[in-house]
Amino acid sequence: MSKPQVDEELANSIRERRFEKPVKFMPLSSPSLAQTHCQGPLKVNGSGQSLNEQELEQIKQELEELKAKHAWKEPKRDFMDDPMTVWMFDGVPDYSLTNYFFLKERTHHHAAGSLEETVEELVKTWEMERSHKPDCSQHCTTNPEKFRFSANGGKVFDNVQAHQVGNYNVMLDTCPKEYYDAENTTWQDSHHAFHKAFPAFPWEVLQVFSGPPKVAFTWRHWAHFTGEYNGKQGDGQLVEMYGFCTAELDDDMKMGELQVYFDPVKFFQDLLGTRRPGVKSVDIAVEQEEPGKIPKTLSNVDLTEDLTEDSASVFSAATNGSDDQPWPAPRRRKSTKTASSTKSSGGGCPFKHSFANM
């Protein structure tokens, strides 16, 4: 699979200027820029091989056909065209494979310019930067001084700490060690753990319940287990995660505090084939420290249920069973709210204009 040519002299010059301290930058390897962190096979074939060039070209062709047939557009990830950017895999990531699965298998089709679409693209851009830009001073979606990231009431990581350990380790910080030992897993190890399991791992926003400065929303993360994980061969089954998140945004629409709630145990049990249908997983965090805040446990709440059909159970847990919830729990499938375009026009934050009229 061909990759973009890299001017090593220019790349070294960029690295010296952009990192505060001398850093020996070691680009990671991948079969293609379309399969960097997820390198599983397209179909269950026993070989465990990543997509070859012919398969990838076929996916790109089918992606264009989907867009033309339904008048769909690919999700936009901003801040990918700065020539000064140092890339984790020595090239701009290619999201055509992920976008193909996203468009084809998403459960919600949000209206163009809606709050839901804007939040979805902001999170996708943030994830791109965390996964593909090794220098966090080049991240444009976070406020470096205010950014805090935690999952299920676990350890709160600041901007640098979160980037050093990686999104997987923050998200799985409270996961029982029998499934995942975040404390003793490095950034690279965390990504290698799932390398061969999935061909892609798309993500979507389900519903947004409040706009800035504190955005609250539910989400879905899914993949087809076509490869191998921890010695177990997948049979192509769908593996899903559902969750809830709050994100505080500053005046420039950069992320401050990010809190995520989901059930990691169910995900691993589905992956390993050890979950009994209808049995809910155990408590996934510690008890609440301060009254009045979102609790640090989601005891007996099955976040794998369709949150769009019955969000009330999740939100009841997030408010400790109180009926005084600050948001409604509507049952809907398609967004109708609109806003100005989310596309970037030169410098500045493209998301700021999207939220301005909401």
Per-residue pLDDT of the chain (358 residues; tens, 9 = 90+): 444 444 455 445 444 433 333 334 456 778 898 988 898 999 897 667 898 899 999 999 999 999 999 999 999 999 999 999 999 998 999 999 999 999 999 999 999 999 999 999 999 999 999 999 999 999 999 999 999 999 999 999 999 999 999 999 999 999 999 999 999 998 888 878 888 999 999 999 999 999 999 999 999 999 999 999 988 999 999 999 999 999 999 999 999 999 999 999 999 999 988 875 554 443 333 333 343 333 333 333 343 344 444 444 444 433 344 333 333 333 334 444 444 333 333 455 666 555 554 4
Any idea where the domains of the chain sit in the sequence? 39-272
Amino acid symbol at 64: E
Which residues, including other chains, have CB under 8 Å from residue 26's CB and lie 6 or more apart? none
Angle at 52 between CA 46 and CA 56, to 5 degrees: 115
Beta carbons of 355 and 212 less than 8 angstroms apart: yes
| Nearest one of 284, 286, 322, 289 to 300, comparing CA atoms | 284
Q: Residue with structure tokens 């996964």?
A: 131
How many C-beta neighbours within 10 Å does residue 326 have? 11
Answer whether CATH 3.10.450.50 is correct for domain 39-272: yes
pTM for the whole thing?
0.75
HSE, side-chain direction, 13 A CA sphere, residue 103: 23
